[in-house]
Amino acid sequence: MTYTFFRNTLIFTLTLLLTCYNVQAQGPDSVYIVPKTPFITQLLAFKALDVNINLSKQNQQIPVHDNIIDGNAQELIKQGNNIYVFIEQTGFVYKLFSYDSATCVYKRMDKTVNLNYNIDCKNFIYQNNLYSYGGYGFWKTNGNLRKFNEEDREWDIIPLNKEVIATAYLWVSPEEGRMYLPFQRVVNAGLIGPEHIKGVPDYTSYYLDIKKQQWVKVGELEKEMIKIVENDFAAGKFLSYKNGYLHHVNEEAYLFDLIHNKIYKSKNANLNQFLIRRSAIEDMFIYEDKIYSFNATTQSFITFPFVLNDFELLRSSIWGSESQLYNIIAVIVIIGIILFFSFWIFNRTVNRKLEFAQLKILKNKSVNQAFTGTELALLNLLLIASSKKELVEIQQINHVLGLKDKNVGLQKKVRSDVMKAINEKYEFITQANLPVIGSVRKEEDKRFFEYFITPSEVNTIQRILENN
């Protein structure tokens, strides 16, 4: 009985090993049986943990022995009870198929052929589907969104409304169904100039509506944010949390809240030191109110408190929204209009006070009347004609001034004297170098003039006459 059990166990083990070897040789359906480490044991214990983790060499789960991809880094994604391991730069993805107290069984999900088109891409899970976005390959970065097709075991391209190039400052909110991208850095080594190799920045901020497959512009990166990121070319050194990520730049730790568009800066020197000593951010993640970092020597996690009180909120946001810009412009326009009307009202008030003072002076000099009876008669004649949009001829003026029976020479002199006196008084009252009575040659006979009240001065002379 014991012999039979031992024989069956041995045959099963040899068959499984042979199957694994053959499948591994074929590639697409490779299966790996690896020891269950304390690292994986602890991850499995965190049932609610949803996180991406950059794996160190010591904790890489897939023992690849292939000259092409043997040195490639590995990324682990945990969502609920599921664990996926991505071989970076390849599109290869393995899923934790089963495990017991001693071993873990990983099975390859894909049958990818093309490699090295997605270096430093963003792998994530949305609504139980695997996605891959962006990356570098064939001398340039791309903004392609790829979705894993479980039936064909291939990565399918997802058409978007535009191509937006990714950076390491990318973050996915599964709850919102959005992928936030504060800015782009476009690399194209096929163009002349070192800036194209380093990456040309585009500080326009977007989010991708994953369900609608639409990029939405939210604004432009703020100046304070640009100062932080312009010389930061780190890839993958981000610790994700519920609203964004924790990132270390130039020995300073920043907390980026992309949902609420806020930046926090660490004021805890110990936290900064903790992150500096773990600059690669390998085998690390944030879970609830702690930062977890796996210690390969002790084969256990060490933790550091993760609390918002350790950070100060900066005045600058991550991006300035277009609505904010429009609001600022609207406020400036409104203030300008208020100032304009205030100046206009002030100037009008001053001018009227000045008119009243000048009119009072003329009244005192002219026996309590600025304009004489003859002058008033002429002004009223011209105002009536103005209201009818008519011009006044010489004969009408002569009649008002009582000159119709006088000789032509006297008529001309009196008309000229009266009009000159009216214009001089008006200019004195208003302190403006503009006559109230104007003239124009007749259309029918250019030898004669027709007279009128200057249109812009109608209201002013009416107001003066009311006070006269």
Q: What tens digit of pLDDT does each residue of 79-126 get?
A: 989 999 999 999 999 999 999 999 999 999 999 888 888 899 999 999
CATH number at residue 373: 1.10.10
Residue at a domain's end among 280, 304, 320? 320
**Looking at residue 328, what is its pLDDT?**
62
The model's pTM is: 0.66
**Looking at residue 169, what is its pLDDT?**
94
pLDDT at 170 over 80: yes
Task: Tokens for 193, please give them.
Answer: 């100039």
Span 171-224, pLDDT tens digits: 999 999 999 999 999 999 999 988 888 899 999 999 999 999 999 999 999 999
Question: Residue 318's closest CA among 226, 186, 242?
Answer: 226
Span 279-330, pLDDT tens digits: 899 999 999 999 999 999 999 999 999 999 999 999 999 999 755 555 667 6
**Looking at residue 352, what is its pLDDT?**
58
The beta-strand segments (E) located in 222-364 are 238-241, 244-249, 252-257, 262-266, 284-287, 290-295, 300-305, 311-313, 319-320
> Do residue 298 and residue 363 come from a single domain?
no
Does residue 379 belong to any structural domain of this protein? Answer: yes
Strand order in 311-313's β-sheet?
Answer: 238-241, 244-249, 252-257, 262-266, 311-313
How is residue 59 annotated by DSSP? G
> Do residue 241 and residue 344 come from a single domain?
no
| Mean pLDDT, the chain, integer | 85
Residue at a domain's end among 116, 140, 168? 116
Cβ–Cβ under 8 Å, residues 135 and 123: no
Give residue 346's region: left, alpha or beta (phi > 0; psi -120 to 50). Answer: alpha
Tell me what percent of the residues of the chain surpass a pLDDT of 70. Answer: 85
- For the chain, the domain total comes to 3
> Do residue 415 and residue 302 come from a single domain?
no
> Do residue 306 and residue 366 come from a single domain?
no
Identify the band that residue 1 occupies on the pLDDT scale cut at 50, 70 and 90. very low
Does residue 333 belong to any structural domain of this protein? Answer: yes
Task: Tokens for 59, please give them.
Answer: 């904790």
> Do residue 358 and residue 305 come from a single domain?
no
**Looking at residue 405, what is its pLDDT?**
82
> Do residue 332 and residue 463 come from a single domain?
yes
**Looking at residue 237, what is its pLDDT?**
86
Tell me what percent of the residues of the chain surpass a pLDDT of 90. Answer: 53
**Looking at residue 322, what is its pLDDT?**
59
Does residue 440 belong to any structural domain of this protein? Answer: yes
Which range is most confident: 62-76, 197-211, 405-419, 426-440? 197-211
Does residue 229 belong to any structural domain of this protein? Answer: no
Does residue 97 belong to any structural domain of this protein? Answer: yes
> Do residue 17 and residue 59 come from a single domain?
yes
Residue at a domain's end among 116, 136, 159? 116
> Do residue 16 and residue 85 come from a single domain?
yes
What average pLDDT does the segment 65-75 reach?
83
> Do residue 255 and residue 294 come from a single domain?
yes
Q: Which residue has the higher pLDDT, 294 or 356?
A: 294
**Looking at residue 355, what is its pLDDT?**
54
Does residue 227 belong to any structural domain of this protein? Answer: no
Q: Within a 13 Å sphere around the CA of 254, how many CA atoms are in the beta-carbon half?
A: 22
When mean pLDDT is compared across 155-169, 313-327, 351-365, 369-383, the lowest value belongs to 351-365
**Looking at residue 324, what is its pLDDT?**
54
387, amino acid identity? S
> Do residue 333 and residue 441 come from a single domain?
yes
Does residue 157 belong to any structural domain of this protein? Answer: no
pLDDT at 28 over 50: no
What Å distances lie between residue 200 and 11, 70, 446, CA to CA? 60, 32, 73
**Looking at residue 465, what is its pLDDT?**
82
> Do residue 313 and residue 357 come from a single domain?
no
State which residues form the domain around 247: 235-320
pLDDT at 435 over 80: yes
pLDDT at 350 over 70: no
> Do residue 419 and residue 291 come from a single domain?
no
Q: Which residue has the higher pLDDT, 363 or 211?
A: 211
Does residue 189 belong to any structural domain of this protein? Answer: no
**Looking at residue 38, what is its pLDDT?**
95
Which range is most confident: 18-22, 212-216, 379-383? 212-216
